[in-house]
Structure 1
Amino acid sequence: MADIVALVLPFFGLILIGYVVARLKQQPAEALGWLNVFIIYVALPALFFKLVSRTPIEDLAQIDFIAADLTGTYVIFVLAFLIGRYLRRNRFDECVIQGFAGAYGNIGYMGPGLALLALGEAAAVPVALVVCFENALHFMVAPAMMALAGDEKRPAGAVVVEVITKVATHPFIIATALGFLVAALKLEIPVAAARLIDYLAQAAAPCALFAMGVTLALRPLKRIPVEIGYLVPIKLVVHPLLMWVVLSLAGNFEPVWIKAAVLLAALPTATNVFVLGQHYGVWQERASATILITTVLSVFSVSALLIAMTSGALPTDLFP
């Protein structure tokens, strides 16, 4: 138990520090801009490149793992969407954002730091694969679904070009692709460059968690939406449990790969869900509330999951 507290307290403590500092200093939201640029375009890509480039290429070609992970995540998306559409009778575009609120975890900011701390370097590759492939698919699904909802007013060709451009130029995906190339060709990174990459990678988790705390402070909770009643359990409980079942059924993966995917599935709703809502002018306030509430509650749910994993109470593979 002490080990879990020692792991979780500093991790969520960084989020809390960012939150408290933002509340005390009262800086405008724009002040966070360059830190977010550093995290998204420099520090996290350096981390992904470092992790992937140092992994044997045969360990990277796990198509069945990627397919199973995406299946688990998008079953959750469909579940949250259908509840919103047919039980709550919400508009189609609102249900799309609800679907992402249930399925899009904070895997970019929180995932790498927590998984590597909890599971070690062996979790590096599954984390990188989950982050890159889930983000890529989210970038494709969001504009496609909003086009169906009628909120995307541009021609279909323009939407397709934008989606392809976003996927192809996203820094996480470029860094991971370069890491694949270095691993496949077994290239040696010059010592000076390797040290620079290491420094940048080490900054990724602390900066991302601090920025997340600041972001939460800048979006205070104004009201608790009704949707919280089902989105919170879907994101924090159903998603990781379903991921566990799907990966157990899909194949005999390394235990650390299953643990990494389940842990990432248990993370709270990503701040990008608010960005999506803001971009399309729908469900922004409720997305912000979902992010804040799932993040606060994830302190307890993620801690419980880590205790179950480390104590052996949760078998890694349901169908060995």
Structure 2
Amino acid sequence: MTGALNGFAVIFVLVAIGYCTARFRVLGEHGVVVLARLVYSVATPALLFEMLAKTPMSSVFSPEVLVAGAAVLVIATTYFFVARLLWHKDMQSSVLGMLAASYANSTNLGIPIAAFILGGQQYVTPLVLFQMVFYQPFAIMLLSLGKSVPGKRRLVEALRGFANPMLVGGLLGVAASATGLPRPVFLDSSLAMIGAMTVPSALLVFGMSFVAGSTSDQEKASRRELWFAVLLKSVAYPVVAYALARFAFGLDMSAARAATVLAALPTANMVYVLAVRHNRCQSLARDVSLATTLVSIPVVFAIVWFFG
């Protein structure tokens, strides 16, 4: 339990540092945008490559990864179609809201929770793999398709989605794992150092958003969107993950417990980075991330108590 609480404490400390950084203009007027671009275009692709290059291909299509994917699919499509059909939101707003409701903080919270509550970091690997290999690149492609461009340029934007840095980093990592070709030590070390910036930098960006976001985001989140996303992420997602793990995929109680606990993790700060990158729904991404972080503390402990 101490490890999980430490994980939450680290988040709040880095968010507070990010807030102070923006409040005192340490990085200037556009610091949050520049740092978000660094996370999006440099740090995360390096992290993806390093993680996937060292992951056996058999792990990418394990039953646990399929459970993670199926649970995300249920929650993501629910938000997406409600936003599109009932609220008449545009594509980019719907996709970013979908991510806020379903993209879990599987790294800086998932790793300590897996280690100290579930008994091993290996439990979080399926969720990390699914989100970074499949879900994130697919969502970024949808964001590219959702840009307001003339019909002739829509195909160009769609193709450009395949060239985004995160997808390139992930595909190169998969290729490196599949081929098993040796890499220079200096290359691995360099990419590991760059990739290590991802989590702390994303948290700093999130903290900075409470100062910078209030003036840069013209699209304020409604209470309806906010609480619907929070309800899906913190309540529906764990329930769906448990049901799929136990009754659809027939996983044992240990694996079902892991899937349920990890499904209760709060929204990842990467969603806010993507919102800044596309200059849409920054308030929604920020507020859902904060709300689910606070709600996830009692929810995670309730799930642990439920499983005994």
The TM-score, its normalising length taken from structure 2, stands at 0.76
1:7 correspondence with 2:25: no
CA contact (8 A) 2:79 2:101 kept: no
Match in the other structure for 2:37:
37
| 1:46-85 correspondence to structure 2 within 5 Å | 46-62=46-62, 68-81=67-80, 83=82
Match in the other structure for 2:153:
158
Q: Deviations along 1:25-56, whole A, 9 cap, x unmatched?
A: 38655223432233222222222222211122
In the alignment, which of 205, 208, 211 is matched to residue 211 of structure 1?
Answer: 205
CA distance in 2, matches of 1:235, 1:294: 9
Letter of the 1:72 counterpart: A
Match in the other structure for 1:117:
112
Q: CA deviation at 1:265?
A: 6.7
Q: How many residues align?
A: 295
Match in the other structure for 2:190:
196
Distance of aligned partners of 1:252 and 1:28 in 2 relative to their CA distance in 1, 3 Å threshold? farther
CA distance in 1, matches of 2:198, 2:159: 26
| 1:268-283 correspondence to structure 2 within 5 Å | 268=267, 270-271=271-272, 274-275=275-276, 278=279
The TM-score, its normalising length taken from structure 1, stands at 0.74
CA distance in 1, matches of 2:173, 2:66: 20
Match in the other structure for 2:233:
235
Distance of aligned partners of 1:201 and 1:276 in 2 relative to their CA distance in 1, 3 Å threshold? closer
Letter of the 1:267 counterpart: P
RMSD: 3.7
Letter of the 2:61 counterpart: A
Match in the other structure for 2:129:
128
Q: CA deviation at 1:18?
A: 0.7
Instruction: Find runs of 4+ consecutive structure 1 residues off by over 6 angstroms.
Output: 221-224
Q: CA deviation at 1:210?
A: 0.9
Letter of the 2:89 counterpart: D
Unaligned runs of 5+ in 1: 279-283, 316-320
CA distance in 2, matches of 1:243, 1:8: 22
Match in the other structure for 2:164:
170
Match in the other structure for 2:306:
313
Distance of aligned partners of 1:158 and 1:169 in 2 relative to their CA distance in 1, 3 Å threshold? same
Q: CA deviation at 1:111?
A: 3.4
CA distance in 2, matches of 1:234, 1:77: 9
CA contact (8 A) 1:113 1:205 kept: yes
In the alignment, which of 288, 298, 302 is matched to residue 296 of structure 2?
Answer: 302
CA contact (8 A) 1:46 1:201 kept: yes
Q: Deviations along 1:197-238, whole A, 9 cap, x unmatched?
A: 222232221112112211233123997723134332123322
Deviates more, 1:262-271 or 1:43-52: 262-271
Unaligned runs of 5+ in 2: 116-120
